[in-house]
């Protein structure tokens, strides 16, 4: 049978592996960027050339920056 310690170590490993997969997915998104914005609009090729990791179209990015500035 497994001890409480073994169970806790196993749970920690599972959580570490899950977090590593999340971090890798986030890094991939930042590296590659996207062709479509979160709103569904296409991110222009010019914007993707200038900012390859873009995940928002220019309009959504402007809104996000305004909201962040006003906080």
Q: How far apart are CA 52 and CA 33, in angstroms?
A: 6
- Buried b vs exposed e over 32-62: b needs ≥16 C-beta within 10 Å? eeeeebeeeeebeeebbeeeeebbbbeebbe
CB 32 within 8 A of CB 54: no
Tens of pLDDT, residues 54-65: 889 999 999 999
Judged against a pLDDT cut of 80, whether residue 21 lies above it is answered with yes
pLDDT-above-90 percentage for the chain: 49
CB 60 within 8 A of CB 37: yes
Q: Give domain limits for the chain.
A: 1-32, 34-71
CB 58 within 8 A of CB 44: yes
Record the pTM.
0.52
């Amino acid at each position: 049978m497994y001890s409480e310690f073994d169970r806790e170590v196993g749970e920690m490993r599972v959580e570490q592996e899950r977090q590593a997969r999340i971090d890798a997915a986030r890094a991939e998104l930042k590296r590659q960027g996207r062709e479509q914005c979160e709103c569904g609009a296409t991110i222009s090729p010019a914007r993707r050339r200038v900012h390859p990791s873009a995940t928002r179209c220019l309009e959504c990015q402007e809104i996000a920056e305004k909201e962040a500035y006003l906080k």
